[in-house]
Structure 1
Amino acid sequence: MIQLYRPGASVVHRAPTGSKLAVLTVAALLLSLVPQTAGSIGVVLLAVSALYRVAGFPMRVLGSELWRIRWLVLVLGVALAVFFSPLIAWINTGRVVALLLLASLLTLTTRMADLLDALHRMLRPLRRLGVDADAVAMTLSLTITMIPVVAGFAEHVRDAHRARGVRPGVRAVIPLLVLALRHADDVSDALVARGIG
């Protein structure tokens, strides 16, 4: 499994994992449910960018995270602009970018073990309803972690196409899918080796 955590002593690193998860959840709900304007999305993106600085990361880390999701931003933004309007494209693409950057910041400032523990504690009351807290916690943590991992795979595929002088098109999805499935197999083998699942 790829470890995304970057050690640090910032306020964001020291914040309780449960609090960081709560902030991510609330941000996702607010961005999804509350109507946004072009100006408010700009403020949200600036605030998320500022959180990277508060976490003690240089701007190149934020730039690297943005670079990883550039194709998603481009495809989503262009599709929304063509089928709806540039304003809707800006607002909705901004929402997605803000959430992905927050999820990346969570994985950069939180150890996987801490993330699993926090998710497990939050889900423990659901055991009365027959929910397997361990399995759900592992699934959620892997999902959050996979966002930047798959974005990294997409970057590798694009770089490989560029190195060969091939124009990446729809066929670029196939090697990306192969890499993602291979990574999933590796993660599965690692979990089985540790007696999980």
Structure 2
Amino acid sequence: MSAARELGAYWPGDSPVHRARLRVKAVGMVLVSVAAVLARDPLPALALLAVVLLVAGSSRVPARRVFAPARAGWVVLLLVGGYQVLAGGGSAPSIGQAVAVVAVLLAAMTSAQLLTATTPTGRLLDGVVTAVRPLRRLGADPDRFALTTLIVLRSLPWIAGAFDDARDAALARGLQRSLRARTLPVVLRTVDHAQRTGLALAARGLGDPVPPGAER
């Protein structure tokens, strides 16, 4: 299975991280994300990453699953780190800055993946509904918000699989260097998937909300 297909996938288990309350894990992820934004020095950034890795190790989720975001986005991490070094002229401070940026990005990506890997989808969506419920007074629909979250979580691995299938098909036909052969099938399948998803939602009465006063 490709790294992208493992994004957001739940891994059953009974570790302390699995048993932890969703609120605790969500707050932890937010704190890591905030720390990632504030970190500028390599030592605190590496310490933050080490803490996240220790928590990940205690979850007993396979490393392949935990590091799926890093495996899927390693090119972006490399480019970000390289830019930091080049922007600083290759000096020692610029290298330290690159290490800090890459470390905090890894910590944030891993903590987000750990949240979804140790939380069943139903429980995660219930948490989304609870978090959005106070916004109902502003017109937000918690159930629709949770449904959107579910569609996103399921669509990302599906689209990643479409890319894998298109790549394999292009390779089998000797067209591995053809951008059109590797992307056009993905676009067509994604549009078809979106249309079928929309039809399925409409059949269940979950289409666009009817504007006030439009009912007859």
The TM-score with structure 2 as length reference comes to: 0.68
Q: Alpha-carbon deviation of 1:29? A: 2.0
Question: Would the alpha carbon gap of residues 151 and 24 (structure 1) be closer, same or farther in structure 2, given more than 3 Å must change?
Answer: farther
More helix by share: 1
The match for 1:20 is 25
Query: Does structure 2 conserve the Cα–Cα contact (< 8 Å) formed by 1:69 and 1:151?
Result: no
Deviations 1:43-90 (A, max 9, x none): 111121112211112334345453222222122222232234322222
Query: Does structure 2 conserve the Cα–Cα contact (< 8 Å) formed by 1:41 and 1:91?
Result: yes
Which amino acid in structure 2 is aligned with residue 49 of structure 1?
Answer: L
Q: Alpha-carbon deviation of 1:178? A: 3.3
Determine helix, strand or coil for the equivalent of 2:12.
Answer: coil
Q: Alpha-carbon deviation of 1:94? A: 1.9
Question: Would the alpha carbon gap of residues 184 and 83 (structure 1) be closer, same or farther in structure 2, given more than 3 Å must change?
Answer: farther
Distance 1:146 1:43 in 2: 33
Q: For structure 1, list consecutive stretches of 5 or more residues without a partner in the other structure.
A: none
Bigger Rg, structure 1 or 2: 2
The match for 2:63 is 59
1:71 to 65, 75, 78: 75
The match for 1:6 is 11
Distance 2:136 2:104 in 1: 33
Query: Does structure 1 conserve the Cα–Cα contact (< 8 Å) formed by 2:166 and 2:186?
Result: no
Query: Does structure 2 conserve the Cα–Cα contact (< 8 Å) formed by 1:11 and 1:55?
Result: yes
Determine helix, strand or coil for the equivalent of 1:131.
Answer: coil
The match for 1:117 is 126
Q: Which moved more, 1:36-45 or 1:158-167?
A: 158-167
Distance 2:185 2:22 in 1: 31
Question: Would the alpha carbon gap of residues 173 and 159 (structure 1) be closer, same or farther in structure 2, given more than 3 Å must change?
Answer: closer
1:88 to 70, 84, 97: 97
The match for 2:51 is 47
Question: Would the alpha carbon gap of residues 191 and 83 (structure 1) be closer, same or farther in structure 2, given more than 3 Å must change?
Answer: farther
The TM-score with structure 1 as length reference comes to: 0.73
Query: Does structure 2 conserve the Cα–Cα contact (< 8 Å) formed by 1:68 and 1:148?
Result: no
Question: Would the alpha carbon gap of residues 126 and 64 (structure 1) be closer, same or farther in structure 2, given more than 3 Å must change?
Answer: closer
Which amino acid in structure 2 is aligned with residue 196 of structure 1?
Answer: L
Which amino acid in structure 2 is aligned with residue 25 of structure 1?
Answer: V
The match for 2:144 is 135
Root mean square deviation, CA, Å: 3.9
The match for 1:101 is 110
Would you say how many aligned residue pairs link Structure 1 and Structure 2?
Answer: 194
Q: Alpha-carbon deviation of 1:124? A: 1.0
Query: Does structure 2 conserve the Cα–Cα contact (< 8 Å) formed by 1:41 and 1:94?
Result: yes
